[in-house]
Amino acid sequence: GQQVMQIPQYQHVQEGEDFTTYCNSSTTLSNIQWYKQRPGGHPVFLIQLVKSGEVKKQKRLTFQFGEAKKNSSLHITATQTTDVGTYFCAGITGTASKLTFGTGTRLQVTL
């Protein structure tokens, strides 16, 4: 079945440093979504990417969808303590009606 892996599994940064998480799928994706889950919270939708090579920005967050539509990345510039949480990518294959969530990257930010 489809597998979606994320690296790193965990990253600890100092506030102000940049952070990137990478998402890799075993199959070509039609869309990819990103979610953030704060500690003790629930996943919250951040963005969806659809087109090959697409880049979208939300303030300090930059999302990219690979040219082959098998990978994606989320980059956070100048992290803040409010960025703490686990970031999940979630891929959709073809006309599948379900999301396959990645393994997640836990981000810890300290002052």
Partner 1 sequence: DTAVSQTPKYLVTQMGNDKSIKCEQNLGHDTMYWYKQDSKKFLKIMFSYNNKELIINETVPNRFSPKSPDKAHLNLHINSLELGDSAVYFCASSQAAGAAYEQYFGPGTRLTVT
Interacting span for partner 1 (CB under 8 A) from 11-19, 37-45, 66-74, 76-84: 37-45
Task: Tell the smallest beta-carbon distance from residue 61 to partner 1 (Å).
Answer: 16
Rounded CA separation 65/73 (Å): 7
Task: Tell the smallest beta-carbon distance from residue 16 to partner 1 (Å).
Answer: 26
Query: What residue has token string 């979610």?
Result: 35
Query: Residue numbers of the site for partner 1 (CB under 8 A)?
Result: 30-31, 33, 37, 41-45, 48, 50, 86, 88, 90, 92, 95-101, 103-104, 106
